[in-house]
Chain A
Amino acid sequence: MDSSFSKRGIKIIGATLLVYALLVAPHEGEFWPLSIYPMFSQAGNPWTRAMVLDVSSKSDADLWETQLLQNRDSDVVAVGDYGVDQIDFSNFIVKTREWTDSRRQALKDMFGPSSISEGRWMVSKVRGELIGRDSVSIEITPFILLTADSTFINPNLPASEYGGLTNEMD
């Protein structure tokens, strides 16, 4: 091997780099496995994730109350135990704009047909943000109640949160 191999190698890397740039530029920095690695690039923004709380023993009056994380009074249902990827789950809850029949059904199906049984599970949105100079607030907002045969939306939230739906969902 001689320096002509090096030169050709660099030329091919250069050409690959050009294709790399042409692919990631119109695709928001991501064309797997090509990436500009933008993760964590926008720091300090509030975030929203999702979790499921077992609210079987909660009274109907308290069911839809928003809580801070440190005041949580219900156990968390471990979605990993049901083979659900928690990040996919969060994205599904947070990014879905219209809660159509198929999406509500998909949410129930995610955990398997008999998982909820006689209980009541509250799918909740969890929002974190910086407050003042020195603290982070994490707030849990009940979003969709799952029972064995129905789904219910939070009556305290605006209809726009569910894509215009206001009534009980079956």
Chain B
Amino acid sequence: MKWTEKLGNQLFEPGRDQSPGEVVFFKLFELFVIFYTIKFAWEWGIYTELRNFEVVLPLGLAKYIDVSIFFENQLAIINASFITLLSIMSYLRLGYRWQYMVVMVLFHVQYVARFSQGEIPHSQNLIGMAVLCFAIGAIFFPDKKKMPRFVMGSIIFFIGLGYTSAFFAKLIGTGLSWNDGRHLWLWIGEKSIDILSREGEYAPNFLQLMALKSTFIASVILLIGWLTELIGFTMWFKKIRPFTTLMLIGMHIGITMTMNIRFDAFVMQLILVGFPWYILLDRYIKSTPDLLKRIV
């Protein structure tokens, strides 16, 4: 058996039958993704209309189309409306197989219009990746049994890859000295200014105080986070996945506490995809509800 086939078996588990718990979990997870897609589309759309007036940093498609047209004429709001409508139709499996891909493109445009002001946030990336995986799954695996497996497997693949990629980006960008604790001091200082600017006041928490008191503690905090990123790819293997997920969640809690960067949707999505929730659901759900059978 080739390693690609082994990896495929770990991600898609073709030997396991589809159970009622798996179907219920898959539609709940899809609902979670759709909810955040619509939430972000409206938040970004309203902010774009009210606050953006000039493109400072063109990202993605904004390099090729002038997204400043979305700052006026309610275009960002109209785009949010289309994303909402098409997402709900896709969830209910009304319309076409390629519909999710249209949602993906419109969602991308909404992101690059909103974040054309210089900031490149990553806290919404997992929701975006999930939409992309739903789009690819809907096109290539419309079968009711295969689509859930492909979508969940591909999401897990890209999450694991993303963390390991982040490890190497740091190794290449800075080198082995990346985890020097003084680097954390600089970032704590930077984030403290962001909070001071936003709220008018700032007080460091105990973890930040500990890191600021000792280069050694700050270095250890960075090293633990960095090594956790390195092992991100081990999410691909189903037996290790829950443990890797726990470490990644712990790392995100650490990032929130040391650098005040919150990843709410990110962490919730990790909790959802990192553990085999269908096993728990199968204890209580013995048959798949008819409604879900139609829209899976």
The tally of residues in B whose CB lies under 8 Å from a CB in A reads 76
**B186→A103 contact, CB < 8 A:** no
Nearest CB of chain A from residue B119's CB, rounded to whole Å: 4
CB-based nearest A residue for B154:
A13
**A10→B7 contact, CB < 8 A:** yes
**B185→A136 contact, CB < 8 A:** yes
**A5→B50 contact, CB < 8 A:** no
**A12→B149 contact, CB < 8 A:** no
Which of A45-53, A56-64, A152-160, A162-170 makes up part of the contact surface? Answer: A45-53
Nearest CB of chain B from residue A138's CB, rounded to whole Å: 6
Residues of B within 8 A of A85 (CB): 47, 51, 117, 119
Residues of A within 8 A of B60 (CB): 27, 30-32
Q: Which of B1-43 contact A (CB under 8 A)?
A: 4-5, 7-9, 11-12, 14-15
Contacts known (A30-B60, A32-B59, A76-B197); A1 close to B149, Cβ less than 8 A: yes
**B140→A40 contact, CB < 8 A:** no
Residues of B within 8 A of A41 (CB): 166, 169-170, 172-174, 178
Chain B 216-238, CB-CB to A under 8 Å as 1, else 0, gives: 00000000000000000000000
Chain A CB within 8 A of B204 CB: no
CB-based nearest B residue for A39:
B122
Extra pairs beyond A37-B122, A49-B190, A84-B51 (9, CB < 8 Å): A3-B9, A5-B12, A40-B170, A41-B173, A41-B174, A50-B197, A51-B196, A86-B197, A87-B194
Chain A 87-120, CB-CB to B under 8 Å as 1, else 0, gives: 1111110111000001100100010000000000
